[in-house]
């Protein structure tokens, strides 16, 4: 158990640092901002208690908010992400088969499941975040464009990260 805590702590620090110091300054035509830090919430173990998941999601969002000067936007979006994650995993995963592999990584769950998982959760997160940020119906077309392009860019980076940093394991 302590190994899992250490891995997730390192993952949190690395993803937040990459988000804050590298990806904060990377945009595509002021439309796309990748938010790779949400990968931390997506990769938390299946058996994590819901209250701890919500707490970690809130703290992750609050940490990013501190660097982005956005009072609570990322925290709120991350809490929504945690809620949608619980629903998605309860609907799609049979937890009995994953006693040895408790994390929803690309190598464990397979490309199709992970792509669907990352895409749906990223779409929810980004939709909520960008609409909360703009909070204006007159900017709906601009917000929708940012939401779609940022989601595609973020999922692309998540897949690249999954392919680079997780070893291939046989799924039972």
Q: Which domain holds residue 125?
A: 2-165
Query: Residues 101, 56: contact at Cβ < 8 Å?
Result: no
Please report the pLDDT score of residue 4 as a whole number: 81
Query: Residues 131, 94: contact at Cβ < 8 Å?
Result: no
Please report the pLDDT score of residue 59 as a whole number: 96
- Tell me which DSSP letter residue 70 carries: -
Burial class, 112, CB count within 10 angstroms (exposed 0-12 / middle 13-18 / buried 19+): exposed
Q: Is 158 a member of any domain?
A: yes
Please write the tens of the pLDDT for every residue from 118-127: 999 999 999 9
Which CATH number is 31's domain given? Answer: 1.10.1760
pLDDT of 40 over the 90 cut = yes
Q: Is 172 a member of any domain?
A: no
Q: Is 171 a member of any domain?
A: no
Please report the pLDDT score of residue 58 as a whole number: 97
Please report the pLDDT score of residue 169 as a whole number: 56
pLDDT of 172 over the 50 cut = no
Entry pTM = 0.88
Please report the pLDDT score of residue 139 as a whole number: 82
Q: Is 113 a member of any domain?
A: yes
Total of domains in the chain = 1
Please report the pLDDT score of residue 163 as a whole number: 87
The pLDDT mean for the chain works out to: 87
pLDDT-wise least confident of 30-34, 89-93, 96-100, 150-154: 96-100
Sign of CA dihedral 74, 29, 19, 121: positive
pLDDT-wise least confident of 32-36, 47-51, 103-107, 147-151: 103-107
Higher per-residue confidence, 127 vs 1: 127
CB hemisphere CA count around 22 (13 angstroms): 11
pLDDT of 11 over the 80 cut = yes
């Amino acid at each position: 158990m302590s190994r899992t805590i250490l891995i997730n702590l390192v993952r949190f620090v690395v993803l937040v640092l990459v988000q804050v110091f590298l990806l904060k300054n990377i945009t595509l035509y002021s439309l796309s901002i990748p938010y790779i830090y949400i990968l931390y919430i997506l990769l938390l173990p299946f058996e994590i208690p819901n209250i701890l998941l919500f707490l970690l999601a809130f703290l992750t969002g609050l940490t990013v908010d501190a660097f982005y000067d956005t009072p609570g936007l990322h925290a709120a979006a991350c809490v929504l992400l945690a809620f949608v994650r619980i629903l998605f995993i309860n609907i799609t995963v049979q937890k009995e088969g994953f006693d040895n592999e408790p994390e929803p990584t690309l190598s464990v769950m397979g490309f199709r499941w992970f792509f669907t998982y990352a895409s749906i959760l990223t779409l929810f997160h980004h939709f909520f975040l960008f609409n909360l940020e703009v909070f204006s119906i007159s900017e709906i077309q601009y917000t929708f464009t940012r939401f779609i392009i940022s989601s595609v860019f973020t999922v692309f980076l998540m897949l690249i990260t999954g392919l680079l940093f997780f070893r291939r394991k046989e799924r039972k």
